[in-house]
Amino acid sequence: MSPETTQASAIYQLNVLLAAGGLATLDNIAGERFDRYLALLVRWNARVNLTSIRDIDEMLPRHFVESIACAQALPAGIRTLLDFGSGAGFPGIPIALCRPEMAVTLTESQGKKAAFLREAIRVLGISVKVSNQRAEKLDVEFDCVVLRAVDRMKEAVQGAVRLVAPKGWLALMTTVGECERLKAAAGCEFGWREPVPLPGGQNRVLVLGSRADNL
């Protein structure tokens, strides 16, 4: 995307990508918030390595569309959600923007990334908690724990399991080829829905595991 391209046209392009993926598009209020999030991410990413993807044309499908797709696919009734290793805020911040009924917590152990998350929350005016520690150290259970692009994903899934409340959900954003390995890492307590294709990336899916018979 050229430097002359405006943020407004970027958000227009985001809605085009959402519609092409069969997803609900953003209204003006949500679009304006995603606009501010995108602008802040681009500005911070120029001096802090929040994401290796620098170009807006790549950010929109890979980070934004994929996270919004996750937000729209999560089951109803989730009150508390943990983004396990949030990085630049994906998918936790888009989930908070799209599903305001959820109380979202972001965990990020790297100080500079945690600082960005706090600034993003301030700029967006959303009620989201940031925990500047490894998610494995938390002693709170959540209705849903979501993992995306986490280092050592298999081990992370094993650590995330104990944070899922009874009747809660484990949401894994991964590739088709990794599904079975990660489901096995979660153990036998979970029943799994069919993978949901994520339009933001090739062979990317959302896999939802339930700790109860609510599939």
Task: Write out pLDDT tens, residues 55-76.
Answer: 888 999 999 999 999 999 999 9
Model pLDDT, residue 11: 87
Residue 60 has what DSSP assignment? Answer: I
Q: Which residues contact 35 (CB under 8 A, 6 or more apart)?
A: 7, 8, 10, 11
Q: Is 75 exposed, middle or buried (0-12, 13-18, 19+ CB in 10 A)?
A: middle
Q: pTM for the full model? A: 0.93
CATH number, residue 24: 3.40.50.150
For the chain, percent helix, then strand, then coil, each to nearest 5? 45, 20, 35
Report how many domains make up the chain.
1
215 lies in some domain: no
In this structure, is residue 124 part of a structural domain? yes
190 found inside a domain: yes
Walk along the chain (215 residues) and give the pLDDT tens digit of each residue.
444 345 557 889 999 999 999 999 999 999 999 999 999 999 999 999 899 888 888 999 999 999 999 999 999 999 999 999 999 999 999 999 999 999 999 999 999 999 999 999 999 999 999 999 988 889 999 999 999 988 899 999 999 999 999 999 999 999 999 999 999 999 999 999 999 999 966 799 999 999 975 55
Containing structural domain, residue 185: 7-210
Does 1 map to a domain? no
Q: Is 2 inside a domain boundary?
A: no
